[in-house]
């Protein structure tokens, strides 16, 4: 848990029990959960938790690059504390979001060619996962 304290301090964020809980949750549940899932699960052990705090915290963590905010689903945001560059696969059958451990080889090229400054790279694949294909 000291680990999470350091992460927050290093980024100039105040250390609060709620933020530690959310950081820990993301670190130990690598399922790309929604804000509501995080809220519901943490509410069991921290009944005073507010959903607004979950949203606020996720936004802060995102702004500081401590979580990755995925827009893959289109209907709700998904959160990921694994921040090394990787892609994602969304199974339209079972809804699971699977990590794809590759990095976009074109990002820097696009930046220099187009003159844009790229802060975030998102690679999304959608289809049917291997597990669902078997059935």
Partner DNA sequence: TATCATGTTGTAATGATTACAAGTTAGGGA
Partner DNA sequence: TCCCTAACTTGTAATCATTACAACATGATA
Which residues bind to DNA, rule: CB under 7 A? 9, 13-19, 34-36, 46, 48-53, 55-57, 59-60, 74-77
Structure tokens at 29: 């549940």
Ramachandran assignment for 107, one of left (phi > 0), alpha (psi -120 to 50 degrees), beta (any other): alpha
Measured from the CB of residue 27, what is the shortest distance to DNA in angstroms?
17
d(CA 113, CA 27): 36
Q: Residue 56 touches which of Zn ion, Mn ion, DNA, none (CB < 5 to 8 A by kind)?
A: DNA
Measured from the CB of residue 61, what is the shortest distance to its own copies in angstroms?
15
> Judged by CB under 8 A, does residue 77 bind its own copies?
yes
d(CA 88, CA 49): 30
Phi, psi (5° rounding) for residue 22? -70, -45
Task: Write out the residues near Zn ion by the rule CB under 5 A.
Answer: 91, 93-94, 129, 132
Q: Where on the chain is the footprint of its own copies (CB under 8 A)? A: 69, 71-74, 77, 87, 89, 91-92, 98, 100, 102, 104-107, 110, 114-130, 133
């Amino acid at each position: 848990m000291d680990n999470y304290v350091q992460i927050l301090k290093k980024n100039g964020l105040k250390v609060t029990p709620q933020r530690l809980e959310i950081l820990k949750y993301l670190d130990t549940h690598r399922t790309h959960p929604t804000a509501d899932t995080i809220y519901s699960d943490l509410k069991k052990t921290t009944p005073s938790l507010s959903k607004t705090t979950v949203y606020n915290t996720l936004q802060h963590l995102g702004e500081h690059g401590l979580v990755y905010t995925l827009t893959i689903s289109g209907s709700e945001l998904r959160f990921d504390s694994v921040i090394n560059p990787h892609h994602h696969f969304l199974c339209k059958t079972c809804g699971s979001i699977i990590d794809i451990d590759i990095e976009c080889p074109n990002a820097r090229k696009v930046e220099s060619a187009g003159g844009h400054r790229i802060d975030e790279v998102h690679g999304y694949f959608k289809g049917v996962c291997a597990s669902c294909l078997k059935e």
